[in-house]
């Protein structure tokens, strides 16, 4: 008989959540899927090169044919993970927690990993059967390089406590990831927009935005004057635009991508990234292009570079949220730039790399990667000094 209010669970339920605790709390995996009945979990930790993905299923097996079909389903889902994470190859650990083994033949489905994704992804399957855990636990520890152990007897309260710990730990981690996209409200995005629009209006009133002399007068990139010492022309072109369509396209791009980057990095980091990327774009254009040029596109490409930097620090989060779209936009814009005349592609590339380096120098609010930050700072200084020296000493195209 059951006591009133007693939490009922089986040994298998306890083992399932003990595994959840082992992977999520002890080994840093995150929950990427939890079924409504809380009997299936997909876990991810790509810092674990040996076994970056784990699937746990609490299900009392009956027939080997069902087991085979479910392993195939796991393989298909693994192929989806390849596409979502941008990875070509990895291993998936597929664990079944069951009271009994299937009543018919099934061992052949566990003997070798299932190969999917053209053989680049391996799905290793383990059956943890309550009455015979020894072999399954040995395989588990061999595949993960760990030392998982479980107590055979546990009450419903123990199972519930484990479940609560695992889910609360996962919720805290999700909150930390959410905060990465909410470091501050956009401010400098609108300041920079206002400045470039104001400059455009002033130029229109005092000679036009497509007049060469007026462009030079307001601060466009003009190599001979930079060589003569007007180094401020390596930043002022960011706020100058040549024609209304040029202003409109760059303003729309800044309006849409600027707030996203500013929320992630905070207002002061965003200002630094934008201005340094703009400077880097002008410097690359100064070195490799003799044409008069202006525009915010180098700085905007720098914002894409800052988003790409997220992929180096939080690869999985990056590809789950924005990674594929960001990479596609960068590629499309670069292809467009190289296929259309009158576009300063060197400025775009310089801005892209400058934004990436600027983001690496400041990293993210309330987070540190001292080695990476210091290394990026050294690279940025050396690159800027070297390129400027080359430009001022005879390596400028068209000098």
For the annotated catalytic residues, the residue numbers are 297, 348
Distance CA 236, CA 251 (A): 16
Q: Where are the alpha helices (DSSP H) in the chain?
A: 11-21, 64-85, 108-111, 134-144, 156-180, 188-205, 212-218, 223-227, 244-265, 267-288, 297-313, 315-321, 323-339, 345-362, 370-392
Place of tokens 């400098």: 188
Strand partners, 127: 96
- Show contacts of 129-135: CB within 8 Å, 24+ apart: 129/98, 129/99, 129/100, 129/101, 130/11, 130/12, 130/15, 130/98, 130/99, 130/100, 131/99, 131/100, 132/101, 133/15
Return the C-alpha torsion angle 334, 312, 358, 392, nearest 10. Answer: -60
Q: Is the dihedral of CA 251, 255, 256, 258 positive or negative?
A: positive
Residue 201, Cα to own-chain centre: how many angstroms? 38
Q: Give all strands of the β-sheet with 91-98 in edge-to-edge order.
A: 30-34, 40-44, 53-58, 91-98, 121-129, 114-116
Distance CA 114, CA 189 (A): 50
CB 41 within 8 A of CB 34: yes
How many other CB atoms are found less than 10 A from the CB of residue 79? 15
Residue 122: φ, ψ to 5°: -110, 135
Distance CA 305, CA 356 (A): 4
Spell 87-102 as b/e; 16+ CB within 10 A means b.
Answer: beebbbbbbbbbeebb
Distance CA 248, CA 98 (A): 62
Return the C-alpha torsion angle 85, 272, 228, 216, nearest 10. Answer: 90
Distance CA 53, CA 197 (A): 49
């Amino acid at each position: 008989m059951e006591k009133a209010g007693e939490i009922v669970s089986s040994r298998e339920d306890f083992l399932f959540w003990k595994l959840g605790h082992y992977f999520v709390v002890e080994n840093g995996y995150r929950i990427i899927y939890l079924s409504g009945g809380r009997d299936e979990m997909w876990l991810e930790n790509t810092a674990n090169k040996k076994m970056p993905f784990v699937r746990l299923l609490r299900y009392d097996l009956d027939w080997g044919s069902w087991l085979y079909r479910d392993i195939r389903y796991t393989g298909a889902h693994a192929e989806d993970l390849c596409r979502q994470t941008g990875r070509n190859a990895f291993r998936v650990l597929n664990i079944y927690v069951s009271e009994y083994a299937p009543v018919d033949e099934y061992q052949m489905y566990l003997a070798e990993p299932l190969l999917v994704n053209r053989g680049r992804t391996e799905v290793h399957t383990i059956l943890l059967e309550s009455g015979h855990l020894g072999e399954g636990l040995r395989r588990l520890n061999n595949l993960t390089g760990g030392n998982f152990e479980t107590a055979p007897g546990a009450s419903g309260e123990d199972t519930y406590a484990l479940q609560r710990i695992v889910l609360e730990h996962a919720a805290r981690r999700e909150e930390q990831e959410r905060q990465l996209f909410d470091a501050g409200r956009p401010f400098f995005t609108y300041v920079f927009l206002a400045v470039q629009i104001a400059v455009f209006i002033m130029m229109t009133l005092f000679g036009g935005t497509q007049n060469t002399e007026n462009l030079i007068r307001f601060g466009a990139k003009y190599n001979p004057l930079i060589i003569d010492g007007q180094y401020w022309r390596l930043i002022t072109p960011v706020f100058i635009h040549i024609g209304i369509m040029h202003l409109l396209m760059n303003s729309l791009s800044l309006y849409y991508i600027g707030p996203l980057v500013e929320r992630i990095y905070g207002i002061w980091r965003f200002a630094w990234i934008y201005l340094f990327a703009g400077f880097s774009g002008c410097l690359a254009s100064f070195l490799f292009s003799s044409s008069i040029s202006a525009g915010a596109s180098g700085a905007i490409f720098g914002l894409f570079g800052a988003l790409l930097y997220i992929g180096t620090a939080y690869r999985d989060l990056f590809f789950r949220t924005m990674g594929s779209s960001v990479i596609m936009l960068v590629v499309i814009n670069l292809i467009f730039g190289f296929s259309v005349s009158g576009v300063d592609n060197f400025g775009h590339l310089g801005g892209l790399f400058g934004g990436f380096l600027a983001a690496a120098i400041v990293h993210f609010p309330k987070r540190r990667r001292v080695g990476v930050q210091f290394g990026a700072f050294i690279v940025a200084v050396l690159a800027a000094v070297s390129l400027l020296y080359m430009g001022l000493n005879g390596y400028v195209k068209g000098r």
